[in-house]
């Protein structure tokens, strides 16, 4: 008997001696392996490049097939900003400094509004989006006001709308109305995962509008829903109303590809129409700049040429000198010690510390991801804190 036949006979004998449970387990494993083959990624695959819908601050943004989060306090300009993006979908020219990517045809837009009244949704569509876009093209906008619908039905209706409309750009204002409790992680996770699947299956960008936590200085999106969106979104934006100037700002706090270093500013005239704006008036006076950050710990601030910078080496040493920390603990401790309340600033601090080799990712005894100092504490103490290693705000 040759080797091939010997192996065949051995395989058949193994099937005979298998219990029904073992046979079922083997069948399930074969099905799983078949599914995995369909999910395999190889270097030789020919996939289309990631496509971005808009350009803002000279950076591509809002990609197809991905989730994007827009957060802010109540009345901070979230819907205003989203209405600008909706107008850009069909406008022939840029709108308040935002434009479609070059050579991109008009985009079909789906707006799923769960927060405004029907009258408010109509006014925004007719009196703002239509005017900014120089008219509403037939068939290019599907607008639904679902505030009167029970929350249990909203996700299914949204899915039906996406399947029927085949949009390029989807706005959900607001995402928390698709669920009973935004702090129920068991319920939140499948909703966010389904939205990710819909974005990928229909190659649209789905934008989720969500409120930030109630604390004046806490700009994190609310609840477990906000945490999950922060983790899963390709980009995250934070809207803010700057007083007393009454200037609206949009800050990109997270991005997996193109990082916007500048904030996007706009103002609204007496008719409710937005216009581009410069940021609040700045000053080169270091004393005035210090007063603008009264909670910052002076221990971690340096002032080369009168401009405030953060000594990240000193900060991360103090945070991690007692041992490794989980990411969330690292963020909370570092922001608390520095007196920094803005998540966008934390992202800059963390990324620079990582890229400069000050901190490294590791695993603890339980196999969980932690962050630690790249060098032993004794060596860290001897390292200089040069201004070129400080992080500008």
Asked whether the beta carbons of 56 and 260 are under 8 A apart, the reply is yes
Position 288 confidence tier, pLDDT thresholds 50, 70, 90: very low
Q: Range with the lowest mean pLDDT among 106-120, 256-270, 369-383?
A: 369-383
> For 35-47, what is the mean pLDDT?
85
pLDDT(64) > 60: yes
How does the average pLDDT of the chain come out, rounded?
84
Name which of 256, 257, 258, 241 is nearest 57 in CA terms: 258
Euclidean distance between CA atoms 369 and 365, whole angstroms: 10
pLDDT at 269: 84
pLDDT(381) > 80: no
Euclidean distance between CA atoms 346 and 327, whole angstroms: 12
Tell which wins on pLDDT, 315 or 345: 315
Give the Cβ contact number of residue 213 at 10 Å: 15
Burial label for 297, CB within 10 Å (0-12, 13-18, 19+), is middle
DSSP letters of 76-113?
A: SSHHHHHHHHHHHTT-SS-BTTBEEPTTPPP--EEEEE
Position 347 confidence tier, pLDDT thresholds 50, 70, 90: confident
> For 45-64, what is the mean pLDDT?
92
Euclidean distance between CA atoms 166 and 299, whole angstroms: 54
The 10s digit of each residue's pLDDT in 122-139 is: 999 999 999 999 888 888
Name which of 302, 63, 69 is nearest 171 in CA terms: 69
Asked whether the beta carbons of 260 and 61 are under 8 A apart, the reply is yes
Q: Range with the lowest mean pLDDT among 22-36, 91-105, 225-239, 329-343?
A: 329-343
pLDDT at 296: 64
Strand order of the β-sheet with 274-276 is 141-145, 109-113, 169-173, 205-211, 67-72, 235-242, 247-255, 264-268, 274-276
Tokens representing 143 are: 């607008």
Position 168 confidence tier, pLDDT thresholds 50, 70, 90: very high
Tell which wins on pLDDT, 360 or 299: 360
Euclidean distance between CA atoms 110 and 126, whole angstroms: 15
Euclidean distance between CA atoms 257 and 129, whole angstroms: 28
pLDDT(51) > 90: yes
> For 90-107, what is the mean pLDDT?
93
Give 370's contacts (C-beta < 8 A, 6+ positions apart).
324, 325, 326, 327, 361, 362, 363, 364
Q: What domains, with CATH codes, occur in the chain?
A: 52-276 (3.40.50.300), 286-392 (1.10.10)
> For 281-306, what is the mean pLDDT?
58
pLDDT at 214: 80
Could you tell me how far CA 271 lies from the centroid of its own chain?
A: 32
pLDDT over 90 for what percent of the chain? Answer: 48
pLDDT at 2: 60
Q: What's the whole-model pTM score?
A: 0.67
Burial label for 332, CB within 10 Å (0-12, 13-18, 19+), is middle
- Residue 297 phi/psi, 5-degree rounding, is -75, 115
């Amino acid at each position: 008997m040759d080797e091939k036949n010997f192996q065949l006979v051995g395989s058949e004998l193994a099937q005979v001696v298998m219990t029904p449970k073992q046979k079922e387990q083997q069948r399930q494993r074969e099905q799983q392996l078949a599914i995995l083959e369909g999910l395999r990624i190889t270097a030789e695959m020919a996939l289309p490049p990631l496509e971005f819908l808009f350009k803002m601050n000279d950076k591509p943004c809002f990609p197809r097939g991905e989730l994007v989060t827009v957060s802010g306090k109540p009345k901070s300009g979230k819907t205003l900003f989203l209405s600008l993006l909706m107008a850009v979908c069909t406008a022939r020219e840029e709108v308040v400094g935002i434009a479609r990517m070059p050579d991109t045809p008009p985009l079909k837009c789906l707006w799923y509004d769960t927060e405004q009244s029907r009258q408010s949704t109509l006014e925004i569509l007719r009196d703002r989006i239509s005017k900014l876009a120089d008219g509403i093209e037939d068939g290019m906008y599907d607008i639904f006001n679902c505030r009167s619908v029970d929350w249990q039905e909203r996700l299914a209706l949204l899915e039906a709308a996406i399947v029927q409309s085949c949009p390029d750009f989807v706005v959900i204002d607001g995402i928390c109305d698709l669920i009973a409790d935004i702090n129920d992680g068991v319920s939140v996770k499948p909703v966010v995962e389904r939205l990710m699947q819909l974005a990928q299956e229909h190659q649209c960008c789905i934008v989720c509008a969500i409120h930030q936590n109630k604390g004046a200085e806490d700009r994190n999106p609310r609840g477990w829903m906000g945490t999950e969106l922060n983790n899963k979104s390709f980009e995250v934006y934070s809207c803010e109303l700057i007083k007393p100037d009454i200037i609206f700002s949009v800050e990109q706090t997270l991005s997996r590809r193109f990082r916007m270093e500048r904030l996007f500013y706009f103002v609204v005239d007496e008719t409710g129409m937005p216009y581009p704006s410069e940021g609040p008036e700045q000053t080169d006076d270091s004393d005035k700049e210090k007063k603008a950050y009264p909670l910052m710990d002076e221990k971690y601030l340096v002032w080369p040429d009168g401009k405030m910078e953060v000594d990240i080496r000193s900060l991360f040493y103090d945070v991690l000198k007692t041992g490794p920390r989980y990411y969330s603990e690292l963020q909370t401790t570092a922001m608390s010690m520095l007196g920094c309340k803005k998540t966008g600033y934390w992202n800059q601090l963390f990324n620079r510390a990582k890229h400069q080799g000050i901190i490294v990712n590791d695993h603890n005894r339980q196999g969980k991801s932690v962050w630690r100092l790249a060098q032993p504490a004794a060596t860290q103490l001897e390292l200089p804190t040069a201004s070129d290693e400080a992080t500008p705000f």
